[in-house]
């Protein structure tokens, strides 16, 4: 962030998102970068559509440089092409890992994705066996599109996203 990198940090819980954002603000303040403190925020599920659009706008414009977030941002925010993503622990599936990592980079620009293993046996295994991530296909997804509990909300989301 001190070099202008727009960065997401994916964490596991709402509390962690707020805590990581507050720690980043405190570190920036301690380093004499009060100009960046207001450019850090957190994101979690439950925001209204207007709030999500404002976060998208602020990240895209560079008004926000750092956002600590839960996996709610995987599908709730239309943002990509950021400079860096920090994955604080394995999110549980390869699909989620690549969805989160894919928020950094695009259009032939350099970017960075960092995986920080939590104190968890699976995280440690993946940190020491990268082929378990890079050498496998993403898990298959199975859904029944005729299920009204799936179809209805998906149609509403699709309709809301139309230009």
Task: Dump the DSSP string for the chain.
Answer: -TT---EEEE-SSHHHHHHHHHHHHHHHHHTT-HHHHTTEEEE-TT--HHHHHHHHHHHHHTS--EEEE-TTHHHH-----BSEEEEES--SSHHHHHHHHTTB-BTTB--EEEEE--SSHHHHHHHH-THHHHTSPPPP----TT-HHHHHHHHHHHHHH--
- For residue 120, pLDDT beyond 60: yes
Mean pLDDT, rounded, of the chain: 89
Q: Which segments of 27-146 are extended strands (E)?
A: 40-43, 66-69, 84-88, 112-116
Label residue 144 by pLDDT band (50, 70, 90): confident
pLDDT for 155 equals 85
- Kindly state the percentage of the chain with pLDDT values over 70: 98
Q: How do residues 55-64 score in pLDDT, each as one tens digit?
A: 888 988 889 9
Cβ atoms within 10 Å of 118's Cβ, excluding its own: 15
- Kindly state the percentage of the chain with pLDDT values over 90: 54
Q: How do residues 82-119 score in pLDDT, each as one tens digit?
A: 899 999 999 999 999 998 998 888 777 889 999 999 99
User: Is the model more confident about 44 or about 20?
Assistant: 20
Q: How do residues 24-43 score in pLDDT, each as one tens digit?
A: 999 999 999 999 999 999 98
Does the pTM of the predicted model rise above 0.85?
no
Q: How do residues 62-88 score in pLDDT, each as one tens digit?
A: 899 999 999 887 766 777 788 999 999
Label residue 163 by pLDDT band (50, 70, 90): low
């Amino acid at each position: 962030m001190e070099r202008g990198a727009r960065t997401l940090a994916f964490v596991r819980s709402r509390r962690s998102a707020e805590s990581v954002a507050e720690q980043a603000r405190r570190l920036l303040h301690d380093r004499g970068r009060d100009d960046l403190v207001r450019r850090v925020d957190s994101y979690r599920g439950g925001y209204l559509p207007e709030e999500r659009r404002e976060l998208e706008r602020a990240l895209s414009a560079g008004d926000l440089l750092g956002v600590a977030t839960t996996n709610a941002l995987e599908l709730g925010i239309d943002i990509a092409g950021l400079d860096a993503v920090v994955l604080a622990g394995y999110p549980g599936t390869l699909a989620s890992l690549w969805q989160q990592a894919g928020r950094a980079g695009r259009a032939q620009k350099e970017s960075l994705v960092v995986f920080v293993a939590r104190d968890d046996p699976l995280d440690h295994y993946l940190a020491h066996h990268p082929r378990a991530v890079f050498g496998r296909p993403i898990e298959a997804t199975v859904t029944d599109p005729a299920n009204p509990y799936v179809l209805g909300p998906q149609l509403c989301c699709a309709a809301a996203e139309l230009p």
